[in-house]
Structure 1
């Protein structure tokens, strides 16, 4: 019944789409293309959410690459290699130019952004591989045009202060996802002395922070977020501080996921801070480790991609903690009991601190997929050229921090003179920049 309903909706939307876009091709002139863009924008905007999937499928089905035109262009190129622009034009799907035309309409960039958010949400739920393939084609097209629209030259770096527009202040407070704002006094502190909040804005999405970062100016690389966010005003003078700690980075637009705005923001803010506060020489994050606890549970149960962390060294440590000789199976079962219980007391976790820190180092440095860090936050910062600098026990003692990673946090240090080198090593050769603070966890390992 559901598939019959989808087929009916698809036929109806295809008919509407074809009548709206009759005559559209990749040779359509600019003015006429804008008219098609208006028609598509109205059709998409007035469609019910359940029919939009069929609209995306119909776009790919009916307005993809014209194979006849592409073959002709390739034939021309084979005779004259100066005809490559013809191949490029013919190889571009018609719907790509349609999406670009929507972006030229009032509110069009916002609509394309919403479209991509819609597609990404559909991809998470879709089980039909054919439909998934169609959706991915449109997702790639929307991502490419959004990437060009939201390049650094089109973004404006802004500092949030207590005198910023009230609606912008409210949005930043509501969007904050890493360390939620705890009332007015907490928010005031984040914008006060020895603190900064920066965000990117774009003229196509006015008064709307796209990605934001909270920064603490301190004297050394911080190891506890509670120290940064605790009540009361921070003490000291800005000119005495040497370190900028980026303790919260939040993207606000699901449609811009993967566009790399966070990377550009950190580097732009680092450059700005060195101008504003010349004493700042060190730039580091204090980052959460989402997913570590569930990963370790899966790992010990044998369900993770990475080999079990329960090696001879960890078995020995578990035996010492328990005051009895254990084999691998017993050590695994005992450790699982402790870490699987969400009500485990902090004192119990402290007793196995060295084991959890060792396992966390494995998770961040060695648990990989296709050669890249499995942890999304680690992958983000290492790909941006940061160095995995240090693990911090009791870095975040909140319920969320304990539940995600037993309270462990990590510093990713940005050496502005090495970020390009580190980025190239990771993206080209899959080599992570790891400080000896972290590598020391492996010094007694056999491998």
Structure 2
């Protein structure tokens, strides 16, 4: 008999959930499982957002792994090693089977996406260790199920053009988060000559772009997003362009965070462009550096996990600016005054350009947690097999770009012949592919 342990502070919800799923086990037949899924789906839909946490916690408490069944399966395996499927079945939590079955319902895949988005939001706010552990179990189950549903074979690559359905065009414009669309003219340009926009769709979420990328076809690796997004049509012939610049990648579904759709999209688009525009041989991003400014401020205040960037090289640079020899404390105080002021003029930033580029290179290449880059964008591209290729001063001179990273942008170059090798080196040995251009900054 499966043992149930209701959570004491959600008695009413636990009782409702137990009555809804009474009799459910991980060996329930497919038809019955679908009936349970329908009941749970309705319960979840009718529940208020603030009560859904209790539903997730009750699922873990009452429909997890049956320990007796698992111990029995282990006993059978110890006598006959051909019985390992029994262990796999017994070790699968009942709520995993339920989640898988929800995907067979109309709009069920969308509901599972919404459930994971809900759990991820709850995890960010949760302070109780036991509740966090239970929510992480649910999040892992949801992520594994969604990963299997949103594999490359189930995704359709689509190119957005001005002839695409109006509702799709509107969604792409509204979802764009990296470089917000500045009106109709700007949007038309992003879909016009020497430009591309691609997105992934999934038949279970019709008319919903899941992740999208904007691409500029240019003659060399770009160092300024303003040059790409400036007013006016780009000039030149498509067959003369040698480089694809991926300057904006946006995921639209919070519930699919971490499923790696962006990685798959970039590689699919690169393959497609090689067919459509054979002259394009180089593939590179022009990426922001979110978090660099607050990280640098924390570092200068001594609150960063990474050692202070104020070393002998930085002290020498500050001393040259001050026209006198300064101490480490004086250099730190000076830099804090400049970088902490959001109204700092560009001339002041230009004066410490060497220091900011030096600090940014350290932030991207050396500042790590568990061997991986702490900057999420860097970690994403390096993990996907890209090379940290170049840092660009005045890469994004918008208010947002200055506020995030003093205008610095980064090129992550994808050498399609080396992405698998680079990815393996990073994920397995924490070795980051980096160009000599960036190394020279260090």
Q: TM-score range by the shorter chain?
A: over 0.9
TM-score w.r.t. the length of structure 1 is 0.97
Match status 1:290 vs 2:323: no
1:157 corresponding residue in structure 2: 157
1:232 and 2:232 matched:
yes
Q: The residue matched to 1:441 in structure 2 has which SS?
A: coil
1:243 and 2:257 aligned: no
State the SS of the aligned residue for 1:98: helix
The reply to whether residue 263 of structure 1 matches residue 260 of structure 2 is no
1:320 matched residue in structure 2: 320
Name the CA distance, whole Å, in 2 between partners of 1:335 and 1:432. Answer: 29
CA contact (8 A) 1:9 1:51 kept: no
Structure 1 equivalent of residue 401 of structure 2: 401
Aligned match of 1:121: 121
* Matched residue count: 437
Match of 1:379 in 2: 379
State how far apart, in whole Å, the 2-side matches of 1:158 and 1:112 are: 24
The question of 1:22 aligning with 2:14 is answered: no
Residue 221 of structure 2 corresponds to 221
Query: What is aligned with 1:3?
Result: none
The whole-number CA distance in structure 1 between the counterparts of 2:341 and 2:184 is: 34
TM-score (normalised: structure 2):
0.98
Matches within 5 A, 1:172-191: 172-191=172-191
Partner Cα separation in structure 1 for residue 345 and residue 87 of structure 2: 65
- In the TM superposition, what is the alpha-carbon distance from 1:295 to its structure 2 partner? 0.4
| 1:30 CA drift (Å) | 0.4
RMSD: 0.9
Deviations 1:296-319 (A, max 9, x none): 010011100000010001000001
Q: Which residue of 2 aligns with 1:44?
A: 44
1:212 aligned counterpart, secondary structure = strand
Q: Deviations over 1:248-306 (max 9, x none)?
A: 00000000000000000000000000000000000000000000011001001110000
**Contact preservation (8 Å) 2:7, 2:58:** no
CA distance in 2, matches of 1:342, 1:21: 55
1:156-195 deviation per Cα after TM superposition (whole angstroms, max 9, x unaligned): 0000000000000000000000000000000000000000
Describe the superposition over 1:116-146 as per-residue Cα deviations: whole angstroms up to 9, x where unpaired: 0000000111111111111110000000000
Matches within 5 A, 1:364-375: 364-375=364-375
- Partners of 1:9 and 1:310 in 2: CA distance: 51
| 1:445 equivalent in structure 2 | none
Match of 2:73 in 1: 73
CA distance in 1, matches of 2:49, 2:204: 24
Q: Distance in 1 between matches of 2:312 and 2:427?
A: 33
Q: 1:441 and 1:331 mapped to 2: Cα distance?
A: 19
Gaps of 5+ in 1: 1-5, 443-447
Q: Runs (4+) of structure 1 moved beyond 4 Å?
A: 6-9
Q: Could you tell me how far 1:7 is from its partner in structure 2?
A: 7.3
Instruction: String of CA shifts for 1:11-53, please: whole Å, max 9, x gaps.
Output: 1110011001111001100000000000100000100111100
Q: Unpaired segments of 5 or more residues in structure 2?
A: 1-5
